[in-house]
Chains A and B, each alone.
Chain A
């Protein structure tokens, strides 16, 4: 059946900011869908609040809205754009919940918008735990015995019936958020309470435990003619009890007999039919008891997901693309297999290699957080590896993790085994070590429930299995969906270790085209500080290289991203980002050069090694990168240019550091060198604090040549970020951003506004001048990011990064120019002049970026903000004025500005006058004001009533108590000084966890007040990027 012609305009909902459980995979899916649907001739209206995505590039849709993903906002977009249909299955849980809300509030009906790709009933049947159970039982399938509960008493009755351990799943939450496994009564009480609160319908499902059973997933697709195919099977090596997102997985499944596998296949088909997903993909999860061969259906996700991105990359079968075509009326048979070109998509891929997926955690960022893995997802990203067999794939997966430090394993065997038995991030490292120390394989199997097949293979790895040592050669094979049955025109490759052929010729399948090739290094698995923003840059780089008539060769190991979509580049190598693996690809490709600027720290760490191997680095030289990063060299450079920097010193041990601190002065920022996302940085106010920090981080232990940096911290400074392009001779400033956040928060975690709203023209000129000076002096070819601070009217350079920064996508969206692509053109030899860039690309618009925090995932952690980056993602608000843009960004980040209620104020001495003005505005708007004593007094002097409340150190009831009790709707807190600063972070964390906006500058506070006032007269305008850029161009 040909595609539907009765619809012409389709709205696609994105998944919003990256959060744990919902990440880059939806950018990949959404981008694929936009591509194919536009190819099919449909008009696309895209809504996503996350600017760090390829899908929100204005090229991908006809109207792109970077707006909050809230029902009232989307309703206004629907009213303006009048789409015929809405496709909500490519934006994760966020999009599905949003579609549900729009259905329930009548918006879809009012505007005649049809839901395609999923229907509301199917979503409901899959996601409402009770209805799911009934649906499965109706289809003759078994689900774990369960009860639903909406109160603690109901939950306790369920526990009496099912016993312990018991699995708790809140209905309609993302990534199992709010759920967990309870082994004890105490756990039970805590998790159930949290789960009922976390569920939007206050419902939890309590499942009998099938902990220890094997866990399998199937990715299934169905078309409207009821043809169903299984795209991929995935086996979790960690048995049931660990969320699939946190498990080490293998594809295809390895341990099921054919009859048992076929039963899972039959049941997957039955599930997708019973739930009623009419077209598209779904993920079905099963528990299988290996002894009895009983099967239970655990859950099903009636939409594209993290697993489907993994399945697409593991098999080469582009699920989201096909799902989009199915949604508009094609059948699987009518869609060609992209890879073979001559066979249809109505088939099931077969693999002649093994895939291992490894979850990436970031527990080191959240000290004190419980790192036990349960049913509530905690990983922040994942890596994938393909190999000729399981051991090869597993070894590659270990390399792909890009751990910042080798896991420290305990000396004692009992302690070691504890790490093996209780699932945690270091489980498999501990398992390998346990084998080395002589623990019997049977013992490991019995105590962990891991299938013997895996334990045996891992034992061989532990005992030193090394393919290279066996004389095997690295061979680049292709992913072709058909195990070589058909000739594939695929540009997707991986390496396996193989015997060379009898004639000695290695059997490479990756061939050049005859054109030159440039290798682009990706950013590896997503983790805090290293995420989708860099992937965005790499994808643009690939486009620029292709545009220049050169083959773009992408190298990355992250299955979630657009960069590992084989459409993005001329050739894709899915390989670990290690020196050896990268060098092998560069050599094989005979690359003209390699681009290390766009993948964050990961490629930068490899740059020198690659250069030493004779592989040219394109763009800014390694020496220049070092010049910017090595304090010992950067300091003199600044002196030469006559620019100021905060006082600084370096030390190589604790004693030196304490001495150096005297020169630098307090407060100061202390950190180790070559840092990722600011890890292990801290602001200290005196010797005692510094000494404590040095001891805690083992400054002397970590010594060995690695330096400790001490920088004077400029309290109350205004921080500025600048992104610029340079061709070596000329510089173009792309954007200047002012942080709407107290200094001292890592810039990745800060809210910022473009253009700056409170800097004088003279200061901005000085900023431009210094950024330009730095770019030229550093010899930048490509991108440069500089962070400045304005302190007491003077400009200071904080740091310069001659590479793509995290703000590149945000700035690119704001100014309507693809910065990474332009930078890449410079790296390939064009000049600034040739790029023909405009003077003032922004026009009259204001853009605000706000960061999104994962604190709710890390219960138990001192989840404080600080100079160490902790955000997982970002959102953007666009408007014609700062207050409105700010309000949109807050709303998009899940902290919508309130219309009334109680506001908490606590400001530093210097802000007390402004605080009075702010309080006055808020009071007039009808807010009740509470404040810490000093602020309350200042406000009262203006004639505004303010109730004093305790600071945290003054004892309960204090402000955090009130936040947690839900009594505060808005916070404006501008702390200075050690105590206030620490309190400030605790307040902010509590606010984030409760979804309350917490503003840390007076500028932000005043903007918020104005936005609240403005919202009372009219809802903010929704603006498409295309409109915004067209207007700016005029």
Chain B
């Protein structure tokens, strides 16, 4: 392993040892507090354009396996760890983590004091940075970082979308509905959860138009998770506006943000995002608190333009598409975590009910989506 460093755009650097591809890389530096599920995280398309730091000290304990892929490839630009472990001799491992990062040509650095990094990001906000070998001078490194676009205003969804429509059949009996997905980087877990419940999915490139989607013989539309700034995806927002009321629409994460923008809400960039598997989200309708998996850098503002929801009841208002309600709130910072359009039969959540990685508390959301499509729940 050769030595290297992680450099942030404000000049702060952290020494470490290069591993994985032992190459350099640039991206937006973010962190996750999830204590397991590293392979799922790095293969999550929502992380495109980002260098992901793990707060958990040991990463790679149980190696890698095909079952832990959230897409067909690694999407992070780089991985930052305190202790990289290979873990190839774990019972379920099909290979070692460090070996795999190398085989997948993923730049990584370990031996980094990640807690110091996290505190810096927490205080200063997520920012651009890069992994560099010790041979690269800091001046050169800073220059390279400067050439990378910032995350604000970035359309990364089009880099992870399908090139053409893909159809995926059900994996079990259940609710045999057909969903058309605007694929902005959908995670395998979401696809699997729906298919296991009997759904057939059509994954469409995110450039698909409203006309094309309205013409599909489907029961509902699904708005996927994905990377980048929702404010850079006005074309998709327009597409969505053309679908609301036509058929039910459901969505997760970026999909939620796009639906919110479609009904006129603004989105804004969180200081350093929510990434982890322990965030408490309150369902304002039922009062229940769920522990959720989260991965987002942007959030939705309420109808009055407020960053936070300060009440413990659903916040309702009227939109072009009928009644709208903010249905969920994050109990850490009171940001919006869910939207419902009861008249138009749309519902989206900011968090990840499919987990991958993370807790299953909110998995019932899929059952509810599908039941509502069938008209079983008002």
A interface residues with partner B (beta carbon < 8 Å): 225-227, 229-230, 252, 254-262, 265-266, 290-291, 293, 331-333, 343-344, 346-354, 388-390, 451-453, 456, 477, 482-487, 498-499, 501-502, 507
Contacts and interface: CB of A to CB of B under 8 A. Distances in A.
B13 A502 contact: yes
Contacts of B61: 254-255, 453
Contacts of A252: 35, 56
Contacts of B27: none
B194 to A, nearest CB: 18
Interface string B340-358: 0000000000000001111
Given A257-B37, A477-B115, 9 more contacts: A225-B288, A230-B291, A257-B92, A293-B92, A333-B289, A350-B34, A354-B57, A389-B57, A484-B119
8 contacts: A256-B36, A258-B358, A262-B355, A350-B55, A389-B82, A484-B118, A484-B122, A507-B113
Q: Which 7 A/B pairs are nearest by Cβ-Cβ distance?
A: A258-B37, A483-B55, A258-B357, A348-B278, A258-B36, A452-B89, A290-B91
Contacts of B5: 502
Contacts of B369: none
Given A257-B92, A390-B58, A486 B332 contact: yes
Contact of B56 (A331, A351, A502, A507): A351
B58 A254 contact: yes
A352 to B, nearest CB: 4
A734 B351 CA distance: 62
A485 B119 CA distance: 7
B4 to A, nearest CB: 13
A257 B91 CA distance: 10
Interface residues of B, number: 54
B40 interface: yes
A435 to B, nearest CB: 16
Contacts, number: 145
B24 interface: no
Given A485-B276, A502-B15, A257 B62 contact: yes
Contact of A349 (B85, B278, B287, B356): B278
A744 B180 CA distance: 86
B82 A225 contact: no
B90 A352 contact: no
Contacts of A258: 36-37, 40, 68, 355-358
Interface string B280-321: 101000011101000000000000000000000000000000
A347 B291 contact: yes
Contacts of B278: 347-350
Q: Determine the main DSSP class of A at the interface with B.
A: loop
Contact of A354 (B33, B58, B332): B58
A482 B12 CA distance: 23
A266 B355 CA distance: 13
Nearest to B16: A499
A354 B56 CA distance: 9
B67 A502 contact: no
Interface string B76-95: 00000011010101111000
A502 B55 contact: no
Nearest to B121: A484
Contacts of A352: 33, 55-57, 114-115, 118
B273 to A, nearest CB: 10
Contacts of B40: 258
A225 B116 CA distance: 38
A372 B35 CA distance: 34
A35 to B, nearest CB: 25
Contacts of B356: 258
B115 A487 contact: no
Residue among B35, B55, B331 facing the most chain A CB atoms (10 A cut-off): B35
B287 A259 contact: no
Nearest to A442: B89
Nearest to A388: B57
Given A259-B67, A348-B278, A229 B291 contact: yes
A483 B56 CA distance: 8
Interface centre among B118, B278, B356 (most CB of A within 10 A): B278
A347 B33 contact: no
Interface in B255-273: none
Given A293-B92, A347-B280, A352-B118, A498 B113 contact: yes
Contacts of A331: 289
Contacts of B15: 499, 502
A502 B113 CA distance: 11
Nearest to A225: B287
A332 B58 contact: no
B204 interface: no
Nearest to B92: A257
Nearest to B11: A502
B154 interface: no
Interface string B45-86: 000000000011110011001011000000000000011010
A227 B331 CA distance: 13
A485 B90 contact: no
Contacts of A483: 33, 55-56, 115, 118
B14 interface: yes
B205 interface: no
Contact of B35 (A344, A351, A390): A351
Interface string B157-199: 0000000000000000000000000000000000000000000
A255 B277 CA distance: 17
A499 B279 CA distance: 30
Contacts of B289: 225, 227, 331-333, 346
A353 B55 CA distance: 9
A994 to B, nearest CB: 48
